[in-house]
Structure 1
Amino acid sequence: MKNIIIILGILFITVACKAQQIVPLGTSYESIENRNFYIKDIDNHHDAIVGVWKWEDGDNSFEITLQEFEMFNYPPNLQQFRDEIFGKYTYIENGVQIAFVSEINVTPDAVLYVNYLSPTSYNVIMVDVSTGAYKVGEFTLLDDNTATLSLRASEGFKIDYVGSENFSLPTDITLIKQ
């Protein structure tokens, strides 16, 4: 009986050492000791931005749809999971559809990626599907139904990418949650 208790104790300790560490959004990778982790939206911050957001100005409109993907894992061979937000969009200029993304794709084919910084601020990477150019920026919640989207050229040295000068999407707008 004593041997069974010792074996069960060793088994429990072994399993506990390999357990997945759950940490909240905003936790830096460097601060996570365990390489088997899950960065989870424990406080439901993503709920504030998930959904449909729209900007309109006359015959121009830009609509984005944001969706949360829980326990997203990329590359899939790692034991590192995150609650992530990806999206799709439609851009209409002077009544003509300029860019349209029909479905939400996740990394590596994502055209709209949103990453948590704080309860009111998120990093954004957006690819213009009509030109292949991309920009980075910030999605900022002003209140429950209003947010700003500000995009700019990515800084730093780039290899094999389409420059931001061909970017045809709006870069500084105020969106209303639908």
Structure 2
Amino acid sequence: MKKIFLLATIIFLFVQCKAQNHIVNLTDCDSYFDRSSGDYYNKDLNNVLDKYAGTWKWTNGNREFTLTLTKQVKHHFNQYGNDDYYEDRLVGYYKYKENGLIIADTSSDDLSKDYGLNVHFILNCHSQISAIRFQDYKKYKNFDVILESLSPTQVKMNMYETEHVITINKNTGVRNPPNDPQGGSTFPMEMILTKQ
């Protein structure tokens, strides 16, 4: 009987000491979580990101902008530095055409990367869908972008120009971006997109 009790106690302690997943709501502004422990999950608890997933299109005369977004559930951030955590996020790509000709296309992006995507949105703590990164690679610029749901079939996309940083790798001398940012943007700064 003592052996059974001892075995049960050891099993109980083992289960209790095992690392637990700490789930943090994406919209919780007051939450701090350790991005290096591997046991934190920044989760879309209310499934707000779901309504933004899909293909969205804006057309105006001979111009067409298509944004395709995919919700990635529990994406594991672990490619850089001390990052080791999980997060729900929206990633995707865009295509912009004028007169039927493709002007910009990011559909070949590797959407499994942690960082460096051209299109990467999160649900911020104010319940807004905002861009971590939205790059106009033709103009060598990044934009802050907010997606606002107008209805189940329409979103408003507002883009705001951010400061531009040029870096030069001290070991290789390679400049990023390779050219100076250009004026304006390749596509409109405000669009109403319709779900396809």
Q: Does TM, scored on the shorter chain, surpass 0.5?
A: yes
Instruction: Output the TM-score relative to the length of structure 2.
Output: 0.77
Contact map agreement 1:134 1:164 (CA 8 A) in 2: no
- Looking at secondary structure, tell me which structure has more helix per residue: 1
Q: C-alpha deviations, 1:66-116, integer Å up to 9, x for none?
A: 001121122346431001111111101244321112234333231111111
Question: Would you say the 8 A contact 1:135–1:164 is kept in 2?
Answer: no
Equivalent position to 2:120, from 113, 118, 122: 113
Match of 2:173 in 1: none
Letter in 2 for 1:117: N
Matched ranges for 1:90-101 at <5 A: 90-101=95-106
The aligned counterpart of 1:20 is 21
Cα 1:45–1:147 change in 2 (3 A) is same
Q: Does the 8 Å CA contact 1:134/1:153 hold for their aligned counterparts? A: yes
- 1:43-71 CA-to-partner distances (Å, cap 9, x unmatched) read 22111000001111010110100001121
Instruction: Determine if contact 2:74/2:86 at 8 Å carries over to the other structure.
Output: yes
Residue 148, structure 1, aligned to residue 156, structure 2: yes
SS in 2 for 1:165: coil
Evaluate the alpha carbon distance shift between residue 30 and residue 121 of structure 1 in structure 2; reply closer, same or farther with a 3 A threshold: closer
- The answer on 1:86 being equivalent to 2:91 is yes
**Structure 1 SS opposite 2:183:** helix
Alignment RMSD (CA, Å): 2.6
Q: Are the aligned partners of 2:29 and 2:126 in contact in 1 as well (CA < 8 Å)?
A: no
- Pairwise CA distance, 1:121: 2.5
Q: 2:174 corresponds to which residue?
A: none
**Partner SS for 2:124:** strand
Aligned to 1:169: 187
**Residue ranges of structure 2 left out of the alignment (5+ in a row):** 168-176
SS in structure 1 opposite 2:95? strand
Q: Which structure has the larger Rg?
A: 2
What TM-score, normalized to structure 1?
A: 0.84
> In structure 2, the residue corresponding to 1:3 is in which secondary structure?
helix
The equivalent of 1:60 in structure 2 is: 63
**Distance in structure 2 (CA, Å) of the matches to 1:13 and 1:120:** 34
Matched AA of 2:85: Q
Alignment of 1:5-44 (within 5 A): 5-15=8-18, 18-28=19-29, 30-32=31-33, 35=37, 36-44=39-47
Asked if the contact 2:129–2:148 (Cα under 8 Å) also holds between the matched residues in 1, the reply is: yes
2: CA distance, partners of 1:164 / 1:85: 27
Q: Say which SS state the counterpart of residue 90 (structure 1) adopts.
A: strand
TM-aligned CA distance change 1:115 to 1:59, over 3 Å: same
